[in-house]
Amino acid sequence: MYRRVLRDPGGSSLIRILPDICDERTAIVDGSILLVPAGTTGYLSYNGILSPPYPPGRHELATGIDPFFVRLKNIMSRGDTGTSLSVFFISTHKSHFMKLGSGELPFSEKRFHITMKAYAAIDLSISISNSLKFLQKLVGAYNEAFTEDDIVPCLHQLIMLPLREALSKTLSTLSVTEFNSNLTKISNDVLNRVRQSFTAFGINLERFHVSQINVPEEEIRRLYELEEKFAGGRVQIDLESDHLKRIWGNDLNKRTLTELLTGIPSRGPGNTGTGGDGANTYGNNGMSSDIMRMAMLQQLLPQLRGMFDDVLQNHPNAFSESDSD
């Protein structure tokens, strides 16, 4: 009644499960047989604890469970054994192809460093390089019995966590307009970033390709508005720079000394440097202008000292009194 043969249920999935088989009719007692097909590794999970791996072949299980005590326990507990036992069959010589959506990907826009969001379509192929690591990571996320319905969402979660992080970092290094023209570069960069994480999960990432990246229209519109504001400010700065260059050329020290000594920001003929209320063109009152001049003087003192040292060295009599008397 209790001795049974446990077989791989078959299918194309990387993992096949005989879930929660420790009940009144199917308790796995001493002498039960586990058949593991070629290219597959088998595991027993007893109350969340994994057994050592079972390689391909026929295995007689020594569970330490006597049929008499199982029958007695079932009678006393009215069929509730209080235990959970599942069998996992993991394909170790098969590749598994997946098409995934990234979900929302936050990234830092390269030029303005604002947080934007994008969505990516991903094609990848994986195989299992270490079945024990993989199963521990996969089943360890669940406190209750793990079933076939849990495989796909849990596998997606396991894969997407490092992929999303790597994608966000990679997108932050490119302009938004460069995304879909650099899909191969993005794919290779993400692959290099996540390969080590996947190895730690017991997964071999055989192929990875980002087939498309979409940035929502409202995000593009927000970026264009920033571009327009930046362009307007850039024009104003360029005009100011050109104006100062015509006056002083590239002699920044000359301009700084003039402002230091006169207290008036030199912006060219016709500009007195003061507004109608006595404030200068930069909106500073007299006190803040004095502070600014003192700070500028402090920065220029080493340069002025060097200039005087140079004069004294080359013209030692430049500051001596006349000997005409």
Mean pLDDT of the chain, nearest integer: 75
- What's the pLDDT at 90? 93
**Domain spans of the chain, in order of start:** 5-91, 96-215, 251-314
The per-residue pLDDT for 244 is 60
Superfamily of domain 96-215: Band 7 domain (3.30.479.30)
Residue 52, token pair as written in the block: 């050592």
Which pLDDT score, from 0 to 100, does residue 280 have?
45
pLDDT of 135: 87
Q: Looking at residue 247, what is its pLDDT?
A: 61
pLDDT for position 82: 56
Residue with tokens 């004294």: 312
Residues 242-265 pLDDT 10s? 656 666 565 656 666 555 555 555
Question: Which parts of the chain have pLDDT scores under 50?
Answer: 1, 68-69, 72, 75-77, 79, 143, 267-287, 323-325
pTM of the model: 0.60
Alpha helices in 9-130 (DSSP H): 67-77
In the 3-class helix/strand/coil scheme, how is the chain assigned residue by residue? CCCCEEECCCCCCCEEEECCCCCCCCCCCCCCEEEECCCEEEEEEECCEECCCECCEEEECCCCCCHHHHHHHHHHHCCCCCCCEEEEEEECCCCEEEEEECCCEEEECCCCCCEEEEEEEEEEEEEECCHHHHHHHHHCCCCCCCCHHHHHHHHHHHHHHHHHHHHHHHHCCCCHHHCCCCHHHHHHHHHHHHHHHHHHCCEEEEEEEEEEEECCHHHHHHHHHHHHHHHHHHHHHHHHHHHHHHHHCCCHHHHHHHHHHHCCCCCCCCCCCECCCCCECCCCCHHHHHHHHHHHHHHHHHHHHHHHHHHHHHCCCCCCCCCCC
pLDDT score, position 270: 43
